[in-house]
Structures are given as structure tokens and as C-alpha cells.
Amino acid sequence: MTASAAGEGSTADAAAPLLEVENLYTAFPTAHGSVMAASGVSFSLAERETKGIVGESGSGKSITLRSLLGLVPEPGRVIEGTVRWAGRDLLSLRPAELRAIRGREISLIFQDPTSSLNPVYTIGEQIAETLRIKLGMSARAARERAVELLDHVGIPAAKSRVGAYPHELSGGMRQRVMIAIAIACKPRLLLADEPTTALDVTIQDQILSLLAELQEEFGMAMILVSHDLGVVAQNCDSVAVMYAGHVVEDAPAKDLFESPRHPYTAALLEALPSIRSPGTRGRLRQISGQPPDLSRLPAGCPFTPRCTQARDACADVTMQPIEVGRLHMTACPFAAEAR
């Protein structure tokens, strides 16, 4: 848990948001018409806060993160919404203005360093490029700083490794290189898109610990996208739960895990193994069915076909967030009845 989670929550809550996302819609054209990969997404982030975004594959987590920085892959595009950052709406900026913010004020760590790092350039060259372009460093100064950054993120023998190519490093080392590039300009916000995907449990823990240390050192806020609720519970101050492009619940992490107020969140938590469960003989609860086809969503709440508490009135649900507690929002209007 971050420092703000440990005891600075009241201060963070009172401050103006560092980042504020309102009614974000990101669409992709298909043979069946446009589908909304992000549909009315809204959330905010305070200074130094770590916010988790969780949900099944295809729920819109990564697309939401990419939408913030204008990195939605073609033919997708953001069609509506605002992303307020330092007094500016990022979605209204010209491409050159947005490029100036990427990497310098807001950095993104992609989930697959193998495809994100250029295989024909050394890792030192790729870190130095960021420093030259964003900070105007000379080639020599940038290379020296690249060595310092590699050492800072825990890569041993950094001076000799600076000339290595991505394929010469392990998956964990490549992810550390991606982190070095992301923190090169000491950004105020770090976007981490499933940064521990495909890493073994020991390396996952090392990477998450490194991110927490760097966040504390540089005073960064962070958005951590993950499908692992255990990772989110340990590292995040607040959590937004996504389903079929919608934020179905958003709350302080402690409240969400102790008192989920959307049936989907509750179902995810019930599917988690517990050390307090009877033992290996018990079967984990499952969420019936499959995540929906975004081009053929049911009327109202998209979770209705899989929800054990569904009713006819779910077809009329607007998915607009409803306040059910301090800083606790849900898209389910029947949350109070389900308690």
C-alpha cells in the first residue's frame, strides 16, 4: 500500500484532482457498427495516489489508459469526453502539444516490453533517445544518464549492460528498462498497463516493489491496470472496476474489498481463493457465462446475463454512477437492496 493509503488519504481527498476523466467514450468501427471500448468512463486521481483499474480481458482497461494520451490504435478514436490535466483538456490538444506531455509529464509503461522495445537498438540508445528529445541532453550526457537510470531500476552491471539489445535480457530486465524509460523525465503521473504480465511471481513482486519505491522517491501518482485483484489490494489507494467498457464501481480500496456495491465486483471477489477457505476440496465460485460481445450488448446493464441478482428493471439501468458512500460510486441502482 502506498504512503497515501497508509495515512494521507484525507489530505489527498481534500486536494484538487491531479487528473480528472469525465464521460470518456472510445469507439472502434466494426462490421456491426461502432462499438464502445470505453463507454462513459469517469474517475479522478489525486497527487501521489495509486489508482487501480481492474476487470476481465476486454473490459476496456488498456484502451482507457491509451485514450488518456491519444494512443488509441487505429481505427479506434476518442469521440467524447474530457481529460483534465494541469488545467488543460488533453483530448483538445494538438498532436504536438500532446507529444510534449507524453514521457515528460505523463509516462506509460506497456504490458509487453518485448514488443515495446525496438529490437535493433541497444537499451542504452532507447533510454538516451528519450532524454535527448524530451530534455535536450547531449548524446554523451544522455548516455551517462542512461547508465544511472539502469542502475537506479536495479539492473546489475549497468555500465556494461547499456550496450545490450533487448533480446539479450530476461523478461524482468526488459520490464526494468521500460520503467527506466518511463521515469527518465521524472513524470508526475505514471500509467502502468499490466506491468507484470508474463512474469513469474517472484519477479512480479520485485517489479511492483520497484514501482512503489520510485513513486515515493519522485512523488508520482500512478494508475495501475491489472486483472489481479491481489496486486491491486496490496498496491492501490482506490480502485475502478470495469466491465464491457463501463466503470461499474469506483471506491477506496479498503471499502471496495470489504463492501463491494456492484454484483460484478462482488462476483470477482467471491472467485478469489482464500487462505481461510476450507481447503483444496472446496471449489472456487465462478461467474457464469462469458464477457459480452461489445457489438451486441443487452439493454441496460451489460452484466445482466451473468448477474445472480438480475431483474427486469436492469434493462432500464443507465450505467450512470450513483454515490453509495464517501467516495464510493456504483453503476447498480439496486446496490442497497442487495446488501
User: What are residue 283's phi and psi, to 5 degrees?
Assistant: -95, 140
Looking at residue 6, what is its pLDDT?
43
Percentage of the chain lying above the pLDDT 90 cut = 81
Q: What are 244's three cell numbers?
A: 464491457
Q: pTM of the full predicted structure?
A: 0.91
Neighbours of 309 (CB within 10 A): 15
Tens of pLDDT, residues 273-298: 765 555 545 677 789 899 999 999 99
Q: Which amino acid is at 85?
A: W
Looking at residue 339, what is its pLDDT?
53
Looking at residue 338, what is its pLDDT?
55
* CB-based contact 38:63 (threshold 8 Å): yes
The domains found in the chain, sorted by start residue, are: 1-105+187-273+289-295 (3.40.50.300), 112-185 (no CATH)
Tens of pLDDT, residues 112-161: 888 899 999 999 999 999 999 999 999 999 999 999 999 999 999 999 99
Sequence-ordered alpha helix ranges (H) in the chain = 3, 9-14, 61-68, 95-101, 113-116, 123-135, 139-152, 158-161, 171-183, 201-218, 229-235, 253-258, 263-270, 335-338
**Is the pLDDT reported for residue 9 higher than 70?**
no
**Is the pLDDT reported for residue 170 higher than 80?**
yes
Tens of pLDDT, residues 194-219: 998 878 889 999 999 999 999 999 99
d(CA 146, CA 181): 9
Q: Which residues contact 290 (CB under 8 A, 6 or more apart)?
A: none
